[in-house]
Amino acid sequence: MCQLLGMNSFKPARLDFSLAGFLRRGGETDEHADGWGAACFTDRGCELLIDEGASATSVAAEHFQREHCPVRNVLVHIRKATQGAVSRQNCHPFVRQLWGRDWAFAHNGNLERDKLAVPQLFQPAGETDSEQAFCLICDALVQHFGAEAPTHEALHALLSETADRIAQAGTFNFMLSNGEILFARCATELHYVQRAWPFGRARLLDCEREIEFAQYNNLDDRMIIVATRPLTDEAWQAIPQGRLMAFMQGQMLAI
């Protein structure tokens, strides 16, 4: 299956250290070589970069790791195709607009499409079960809340209910963000770590690289990193199976 990486930060930050290990899993240290993509939320909205090549050898991936601008929210996905051709159209993340904001979604798992409802308001452009599930989430949000954006608590409750219903069709690990809040749902495997004061040292598991975070951060910096599997030797926390967690401003929301 695929793998996921997300960041939610209190202040604009770069993800290049985590990317240095994660992108190698796309064909070098792991088998997820059927495309990759990244959704970065800037002041202009969501900037989407996708590539059907393996991230471990992609020139675009190397450039993205080296040159992407500091942001507060990022979703990154490396794909091992289970449904749909290896093509740009089927690469995650997928993006739709709700309540005047871009929403980005990336999925890890496999859903039986004949067990999924047919989206009504939002239609998939590609062939994947993942995009169909995202469209069903968007349908549910609009049908329930209408034209007015809900509170974080109401949004979390409906997302959790909708995700549980979709998960009856198979494995449904996913990340979803609107540039302010990052949702992460674990079905089988998903982990997170917070990087905040007092900052320590970390070593990547997929390549020979380490960092002393205190050299690059201020006392009030903090961020959450979410990944399918831990990327470093830090004390990652497993998200409980079946739980939808929410992160904002670099910390977990108590909802």
Active site residues: 2
Q: Percentage helix, strand, coil, to 5, in the chain?
A: 25, 35, 40
How many CB atoms sit inside 10 A of residue 24's CB?
A: 21
How many CB atoms sit inside 10 A of residue 21's CB?
A: 21
178 — phi, psi (to 5°)? Answer: -110, 15
Contacts of 208 (CB under 8 A, 6+ apart): none
Residue 246 to residues 106, 152, 176, 210, 226, Cα–Cα distance (Å): 15, 9, 9, 28, 11
Torsion 98-104-107-113 (CA) sign: positive
157 — phi, psi (to 5°)? Answer: -65, -45
Tell me the C-alpha distance between 71 and 40, whole Å. 7
